[in-house]
A and B are shown apart, each in its own frame.
Chain A
Amino acid sequence: MAFSDLRYLLVLGIVTLIVHAIPQGAPRLLATAFISLLFYVSLNPGTWYVLVAVATLAYFSGLVLSRVPEGRARGMLFAALLTATLLPLLFFKYAATAYHLLPPDGDLAVRWSTMANIILPIGISFYSFLAAGYVIDVFVGSQPAERNAIRFGAVMFFFPHLTAGPIERARHLLPQLGNLGVFNYERAVTGLRAILTGLFLKIVVADTLAPYVDAVYSAPRNHGAVDLALATIYFSFQVYADFAGYSLIAIGSARLLGIELTINFMQPWLSQNLPDYWRRWHISLSSWFRDYVFMPLQFQARRWGKYGLAGALVFTFVLVGIWHGAGFNFAVFGLIHGALVAFSTLTFARRDRFWRSRVPRPVLLVLRATTTFLIVTLTFILFRASGLREALWIYKALFTGAEGVRTVALTKPLIAIAAVIAYDLLVTWAKDAKPFPVWLRWSGYYAAVACIVSAMIQHVSQASSNVQQFIYFKF
């Protein structure tokens, strides 16, 4: 049952009531952990035990690390425990690829043949990063080990963040457990609003754009440059609306239960440059890699100045790339982003002076957002194409202007895209504005509900494009 499934809202309502009704303290925490686990088992009946194993390992790793005295042995123990915590992720994510890399008729390949069919447990990346972050935090001393297994379980299994993030930190959630199931009007209202916005982004925008993107990308060689360009631009908005929508539903669900999750998207398509984009897109992932990969690496390489910085950035982004999948296309995606972020960071001051003195500010804002959007969108081809070879073919077709009749529709997708841009501008602008009057707010809510319902009816009537699974479930 996905978050955009209307049955989920019913279940969420019931769970919210149960969590509020159960006495505070251990019973409520235990109930939350148990309900969350049931939710996860229903989604992932085959390999739910991986979650329990990773959580148990992280819990005991914290306890052990808090007891072993400082020294070399503690460092080695930490390395072993961290590796063990991440091992299931590495195994499930890359086993199938490893199988395909083997010679087709070797003995080993026969023995490993079952591995090609391994299904990635839902959310394994997200809960593994939470667990690994916790183990690192306990080791470096920024988080005391949690001794209470029920509290730790309530955080690890907490269902709103479990299936596709936001990637949480135990040190962010543990101090909030006192608010679990404690009703707060403001939090509940903003939670409901986040869920409504999330459903709008997912069902009205992402699911409307999806069939157009799929039609072109399922057979890119049958299309000309115009189709490819449109489908690629649609995909950028689709993946944003899909994942930001998902994240908002997760954040809203958690707020109904009293917990504040990490904000995952801050209007990334208004970013002014590439480093800015990475501070606004999938924030919980980029900040995880920043804190646990980039900063330690850059610190180690600090004596090499600019080269150390560039090297640390490229390495980190290649890791971010292959986190999405084991293909070369993902590695190249990471390599390009690492190189461009390093270039942008090192030359920003000079470029900024140059452009500011020549171009008026409002024009510069629009130009920079457009350029950043186009650069990221071009790299998304690597992400959406079936592999590196196909991506290269698409680049060639786009840049040589491959001929072909336009088959991709404009009106409906462009309205959906206009809705996302309007939403992004509204959120940016409303931060400094007075709250809207009640009649306007409620007109907005009713309009959003009407759009969601009519989009759902349309999706169902076009049987081929039913409500789509969230893109990030497969990571």
Chain B
Amino acid sequence: MSNFETRVQNVFREVFDNPDLNIYREMQAKHVVGWDSLNHITLIMTLEETFKVKFSTREVMGFQNVGEMMDSLRGKLPA
């Protein structure tokens, strides 16, 4: 797991209050206990704060799984 993925995983562990949570690209809300529509926004906001980026509403609506979320996030970070 890259440094980037570890940081994303730490955000997930913090938001869902589960220190053993392991993320993977195909992971979806239904695979994680407590990932409802309210926690979803908390997750997005925590990612925004941690990585100092901004998502658009359209991007957020288009995410189908953790992989797509990470790709979009990585695209916003300086190379």
Q: State the majority secondary structure of interface residues on B.
A: helix
Inter-subunit contact A140/B38 (CB<8 Å): no
Q: A299-B41, A302-B45 are in contact. Are A142 and B64 (CB under 8 A)?
A: yes
> How many B residues have CB within 8 A of the partner chain?
14
Q: A309-B38, A345-B38 are in contact. Are A299 and B57 (CB under 8 A)?
A: yes
**Interface extent on A, as a size class?**
10 to 19
Mark A133-177 against chain B: 1 for CB-CB distance below 8 A, else 0. Answer: 000100111100000000000000000000000000000000000
Q: Does A217 contact B (CB under 8 A)?
A: no
Inter-subunit contact B62/A295 (CB<8 Å): no
B-facing residues in A287-315 (Cβ within 8 Å): 290-291, 294-296, 298-300, 302, 309
Inter-subunit contact B58/A140 (CB<8 Å): yes
Chain A residues with Cβ below 8 Å from B37 are 290, 294-295, 298
Mark B22-41 against chain A: 1 for CB-CB distance below 8 A, else 0. Answer: 00000000000000011011
Number of contacts between A and B (CB, 8 Å)? 36
Q: Does B53 contact A (CB under 8 A)?
A: no
> How long is the Cα–Cα vector from A142 to B61 in the complex, in angstroms?
8
> How long is the Cα–Cα vector from A300 to B58 in the complex, in angstroms?
11
A78 → chain B closest CB, angstroms: 9
Which residue on chain A has the smallest CB distance to residue B40?
Answer: A295
Sample of 19 further A-B pairs with CB below 8 A, known A295-B61, A299-B44, A345-B38:
A136-B61, A139-B58, A140-B59, A140-B61, A141-B62, A142-B61, A142-B62, A142-B63, A295-B41, A296-B57, A296-B60, A298-B37, A298-B41, A299-B41, A299-B57, A302-B41, A302-B44, A302-B45, A309-B38
Closest A-B pairs by Cβ, 7 of them: A140-B62, A141-B62, A140-B61, A142-B62, A296-B57, A140-B58, A299-B57
